[in-house]
Structure 1
């Protein structure tokens, strides 16, 4: 029986939460936690491992980059943390320097792995990982707006007192300030959002703008209170890893390399994407409203300009 191996690069708030949730999900036989601060990685790995006897057999341990060898998935959470008042894009130059060395070492030991980038700004760092690694675009994925899409559904579910699993919609574009909540394709129980608002006698005066603002600012809201986000993103990362290892062919808004979709090329952005054992299997292109289309292209321009101006 094949053992599934996932390595998590970075044992900080996000990396340790990811490793913990992967352990709970029971999808991997081996989980390796690496951090430049080996003492921290050892502590986190030991803490997680001691709960395994209550769930299912899984080998959780801290190691060197060489110990990540032959991983099925390498989850990259390493990088500078987002500080209060700092946007995701402010992090780019700090993290580019880290990635230029890190990715080469990861590829050395994991030439056949799928690389899943989580560090922010995720779309830019996924693009950089793709360029440095030399991997096919199908095997370099960003966590993208999977979390933002979850926040979108959760916000609507709370407003309407519904099960969020019955809300079907997406946040696309950048995982950041230029993201787009796609109301034109939003359905609740098979009913369009506009029909649902009429059914509930809710006037659409600033409703959509308020929801979009809530999900866009969700991370800033949390960071202002606890200094970082980690739990929900760990769930999102585990969902992506599960889709890969179980070859689920799930549709998720991961950050994918676009090659003409929405009139955009040579950039990583999020759009509904079929994900399976080989990574990105197919990118789906939504029919957007004119305004959403323009905003998506603007989101692409934001990312491209940052890459152009960064210290690559």
Structure 2
């Protein structure tokens, strides 16, 4: 029996994620949204593409959470998108209400699911879903670091003209301008980035990584990124469903790791069939730890505003 994944929110991120999951033949997919007709139409369109892509999965769209029952993974993309001139903080209260509501409805029908949260502001929404679901912390994880690291990898590969397969990058902290890219733990074919690139080039890439989402918003003007986010989501779902024990930078609830207690924050984790199986602690320099502390403080400010 194939695994079942529900994607909450049939906008650009949710629909593209559903399509990527179906194309990869990873699972049966249910796309759910509050706007009647949108998930049904998009789901049917994706199902009709399956004979061309050679995928035998089932894809459906719905507005009824009963149709999502028995999901192994629930991906939450629902929420208002960030628009030009809008900070992630602007999204906070509205998306808190949305994420709380959809989490409770999804859990009613899929109490054994693992939640992958994508809605922004990401770290605060992970904590919102954790509180609303009542799940153990291992089963609520946020997609942020995989995307931020992918952006950094793309920028590095372009800078030095090498394959993206040769590039690994590490980004910790909150998903926003206070994120903490770590050049010291980033490599090109195993060579540490500081030994491969100039300080000036590294600084430029670090800054562009921090502003990566905003750069796309500035171009689109009426929307935000969805191709790279959906690819990052699918990498996480793949690691979970296939029990890969893959080490990925994700938002997880910390209880003392990295000196952070009682907060969801981006860190490297081992991701498998039971969710976050381990938080991987790496040694940080005083400057790196200070940057992570600042990022954590910015996230905590948001969680305190919404009482999670």
Decide: shared fold, TM above 0.5.
Answer: yes
Tell me the distance in 1 between the aligned counterparts of 2:143 and 2:280: 16
Q: Residue 105 of structure 1: SS of its match in structure 2?
A: helix
Deviations 1:34-72 (A, max 9, x none): 000021111211121111012211110012111000100
Q: Residue 253 of structure 1: SS of its match in structure 2?
A: strand
Q: Report how far residue 188 of structure 1 moved.
A: 1.6
Q: Report how far residue 194 of structure 1 moved.
A: 2.1
Q: Is the 8 A contact 2:171 2:180 kept in 1?
A: yes
Tell me the distance in 2 between the aligned counterparts of 1:132 and 1:85: 30
TM-score when scaled to structure 1?
0.94
Partner in structure 1 of residue 163 of structure 2: 163
Tell me the distance in 2 between the aligned counterparts of 1:241 and 1:100: 21
Partner in structure 2 of residue 270 of structure 1: 266
Q: Is the 8 A contact 1:96 1:311 kept in 2?
A: no
Partner in structure 1 of residue 141 of structure 2: 141
Q: Does 1:95 align with 2:91?
A: no
Partner in structure 1 of residue 45 of structure 2: 47
Partner in structure 2 of residue 303 of structure 1: 299
Tell me the distance in 2 between the aligned counterparts of 1:238 and 1:70: 19
Partner in structure 2 of residue 32 of structure 1: 30
Deviations 1:191-246 (A, max 9, x none): 2222223xxxxx42x32221111111121111122222111111000000000001
Distance 1:311 1:273, change over 3 A: closer
Partner in structure 2 of residue 181 of structure 1: 181
Tell me the distance in 2 between the aligned counterparts of 1:281 and 1:100: 24
Number of residues paired by the alignment? Answer: 304
Tell me the distance in 1 between the aligned counterparts of 2:136 and 2:49: 37
Unaligned runs of 5+ in 1: 198-202
| Higher mean displacement: 111-120 or 186-195 | 186-195
Tell me the distance in 1 between the aligned counterparts of 2:281 and 2:90: 29
Q: Does 1:14 align with 2:38?
A: no
| Higher mean displacement: 255-264 or 93-102 | 93-102
Q: Does 1:225 align with 2:219?
A: yes
Q: Residue 151 of structure 1: SS of its match in structure 2?
A: helix
Deviations 1:153-188 (A, max 9, x none): 110000000112212220110111100110121222
Q: Report how far residue 311 of structure 1 moved.
A: 6.5
Alignment of 1:173-212 (within 5 A): 173-197=173-197, 203-204=198-199, 206-212=200-206
Q: Is the 8 A contact 1:38 1:62 kept in 2?
A: no
Q: Does 1:242 align with 2:241?
A: no
Q: How large is the RMSD of aligned CA atoms in angstroms?
A: 1.2
The correspondence for 1:213, drawn from 207, 210, 213, is 207
Q: Is the 8 A contact 2:99 2:119 kept in 1?
A: no
Tell me the distance in 1 between the aligned counterparts of 2:301 and 2:206: 24
Partner in structure 1 of residue 129 of structure 2: 129
Deviations 1:74-129 (A, max 9, x none): 00000111111112222111111112322211111010000110111111001011
Tell me the distance in 1 between the aligned counterparts of 2:288 and 2:239: 28
Deviations 1:123-157 (A, max 9, x none): 10010110111100010111121100011111000
Q: Does 1:253 align with 2:249?
A: yes
Q: Residue 38 of structure 1: SS of its match in structure 2?
A: coil
Q: Residue 37 of structure 2: SS of its match in structure 1?
A: helix
Q: Residue 27 of structure 1: SS of its match in structure 2?
A: coil
